Every structure is written in C-alpha cells, then in structure tokens.
Structure 1
Amino acid sequence: MKILLLLTFWLFTCPLRAQYIKIDNGAVLSSFYNEDKLPFLFSDCINTYSFLVGADYFIKKHFSMSSQIGLISIGGKDTSSFEIGGPMVTTIERASYIHFNTVGRASIKLNPRVSFFVGVGPYVNFMTGNETFNSPFFIGLNYENLHWGGRAETGVIFDIDRLRIGLVGAFMNSFSPPVQSEVLSLNNRVYSVALTTGYRIQ
C-alpha cells in the first residue's frame, strides 16, 4: 500500500512539470502463459479494457517521458475437459488492477503537426479485487497482490493548437507472475490499442 501511495503521489506531481495532460481509453487482449509451455491454463486471449490518465513531460526534439495511472483488466480463457470423455468446458478468468507505467519515448516529426514515436519502460499492477480464482476447477491458483513487467509502445500523435490526439499500440509482458500456486506460476501478455487525447498546459 505504501508503494501505491508513493507512486500515486509521484504521478500527481507530474503536472508540476508536465507539458501535456492526457487520457487514454483502450481495448485490451490478455492471456496467461507458463514456463512449462503447457497449451492450456488460460493461454487463450480475452477482450478487456484499460482507462489511464497521465502526463507527458521532459519533451525535447526527439525524446519525451510519459507517466500514467489508471485501471486495467487482465485475464485469460481456458477450454478443457476435466474428465475422460467429458464435455469441453470454457473458463474465463479476469482481474482488475490499478496500473502505473513510466515510458521513455523516442519520436520523429512526420510534419509540423504529426509525430511518430516508439517507447519502452516499466509498469506495476496492484490488485483491486479477490485474490482467488473464480473457477472451482482451478483451486490453488491465486492472484498476486502486486506484479510488474515491461511495456513497449508505438503510436502516432496529432497536435492541433493546444489539443493532442493520437493512437497508441502497446505490448506488456509481466516479469513477475500475476498468478501463483504451490507448483505453478502464470505470467501475462497484454496487447492494447488506445485512443489518447491530451491538452498542452505549458
């Protein structure tokens, strides 16, 4: 909880140095995977969402920083038969998190109003709900309260006077497992596309 408070405080001091404040609203494809590469355990993607607010700052000619905090939902889908000759059962698991990321972006201007960028940086997710899996077929698998990973992104932004709009595609991969049991851990992959809208305050 202390880490979350510190990150929240840090993010909301960003407007003191921010050049843009922004909102990102996006669609997410999420799935889990395991180190044993088992072809089940929620390895199929589900559609979820993300809603992030943040700031762009330290904006230079070809570099800037971006920090965001908000809500994201991750999970996965599993289709298995739990008895020999039994019916196939589809199970979906999803969980909501408070998400924080900071990304360094390299950019080039395609024209005076349009820029293309790529970026990379870390993220942290904080669990907001029940830690236990909903499905009775997967007793023993539990969500971790906190996990972290890396975020890579690319996108295009359009500047119109003080307004900024754009499209951002991102890939996130957990470095610490969001799901654990006594014998198995699951990592997470996320693909997202978000519409970003911002306003220049400096």
Structure 2
Amino acid sequence: MKKYLIEYIISDKILIASKYYVMRELTLFLMFFIFGTLFLYSQEVFVKNGLTLSRMCSSLPIMDKNITNYTIFMGGEYFVRKHYEVSSEIGYIVKGGRDEIHSAQGYENISKEIPCVQLSTIFRAKLSNKDNALFVGVGPRVDISLINSNSGAHYIALYKKNRCVAGLKAEIGAKTYFNKISFGFSSHYSFDINPMFYSDYVSLRNSSLFFTLSVGYRLK
C-alpha cells in the first residue's frame, strides 16, 4: 500500500511539473510571437546598450545597495506620429542587489545577480520635428529569470523566488536623425509589481535604473 501511495505521489508531482513546463513554454512562445509580429510592422528598429543600476527594495534593508551591470536591448517603434509613438523591446538585463553583513573579519560585501530577459512596451508622448525628438513614456514590462533556482551561500538563498516578474517601466530620452539613421540616449526607471524574492514575512522587489545609448534605422 505504501509503495503504491509513493508511486502515486511521485507521478502526481511529475504531472504537475510537466503541466507547469508546458504552460511556461507556451507563454514564452506567445510572448516572443507577439513581439516578433510587432517588429514586422515597425516603422523604426533600434539597438541600444548601456548600464544598469539595480537594487532590492523591501520593508527591511536587504540587498538595498546598487550593483552595476551591462545591458542590451533591441526593439521597434510603431504608430509613430508627431506627438506620440509606441516602442516595444526585448533585452538582456541583470537584476539584484548588494549588502554588507557583519562577520568576524569585519564587514563583508555580498551580492546577488539574476540575469533576465526583459520584454516591455512603452507608450510615449513626444515633441518632434523632422530631425529631432524629445520623449517621455511609461508602460508594462515582464522580466523572465534565466536561472530557475535560487542558490547561494548567504541568507538570500532562504527566500522563495519568482521566475517571472511583472512591473512598470518609465523613460525619458531624446534622439536625432541623419537621413534614416537615428542616434539617441535615454534613461529608464523600472520597478517590480510582484516580488522577485519572498518569504512568509518579507517581500523583495527590484528597482533598476538604466542609462542607454541607441542606434536606429527608419524603415518607413
């Protein structure tokens, strides 16, 4: 009886895990399909890269000091008009934070870095003429962790981890055109809605600040 019960529990867990895997892969496929379709209808495509300052935020000072990492995005702009446009992008970022803990040797710096794929769509308002544009925007974003587990030698490994985190992203920037080629710079602020790490008592959300330079090409 015990043998059959164990086999049932194991098979049930395998079934749940397989359903989760299928749903996750289907969700990722749909997200990339939607973004791919948007890029096909883009009026301008771009690549941008720069630096990210990232830290964790909670009711307690946990991993609340910035870490700095390289970031890169590619995307497209559509519904481009004189006073507004929509921008969608996919990119590689590293989220996390740094902390100082007291040890026998004094203070020890520890950090947590989580590489992620970020997908976002930003609705922009802008001031523009033929060759220049200033813009501000805000929109939803989703970060998908490239690491499934939450391993580590320090206390952050005790927290549970959400692999998929939704949030908001705001930006301000400018760009200028030379014929069909654009050059620009922008600053983004991103904040998690659901926690990246959590326990029964504490939720850790990530706050990131991006500084990027971009090169684009006007298709239409």
Common topology (TM > 0.5)? yes
Secondary structure, in 3 states, of the residue corresponding to 2:68?
strand
Amino acid at match of 1:180: Y
Partner Cα separation in structure 2 for residue 159 and residue 25 of structure 1 = 18
Q: Of 2, 5, 11, which aligns to 2:35?
A: 11
Residue of structure 1 in register with 2:56 after alignment: 32
Equivalent pair of 2:148/2:163 in contact (CA under 8 Å): no
CA distance in structure 1 between the partners assigned to 2:83 and 2:45 by the alignment = 19
- Percent identity over paired residues: 27
CA shift, 1:123, in A, is 0.3
Q: Which residue of 1 aligns with 2:6?
A: none
2:33 aligned partner, one-letter code: F
Which digits, 9 at most, give the CA deviation of each residue in 1:75-125, with x for residues without a partner?
Answer: 10000215xx7621110111011100000000002x531110000000000
CA shift digits 1:31-70 (9 cap, x unpaired):
0011x2x2x3100011012211110001011000000012
Quick one: distance in 2 between partners of 1:138 and 1:120? Answer: 31
Equivalent in the alignment of 2:214: 196
* TM-score normalized with structure 1 length: 0.91
Q: What displacement does 1:130 show?
A: 4.3
Q: Highest CA radius of gyration, 1 or 2?
A: 2
Q: Which amino acid aligns with 2:102?
A: S
Residue 179 of structure 1: how far off its partner (Å): 1.2
Q: Select the residue among 53, 59, 69 that pairs with 1:48.
A: 69
CA root-mean-square deviation: 1.5
Report the secondary structure of 2:149's partner residue: coil
User: Is there any run of 5+ residues in structure 2 with no aligned partner, and where?
Assistant: 1-23
TM-score (norm 2): 0.84
Q: Aligned residues, how many?
A: 196
Residues 33, 41 of structure 1: 8 Å contact kept: yes
- Hey, which of these two has a bigger chunk of strand by percent? 1
**Which of the residues 91, 95, 120 maps onto 1:74?**
95
Between the aligned partners of 1:137 and 1:152, the Cα distance in structure 2 is 31
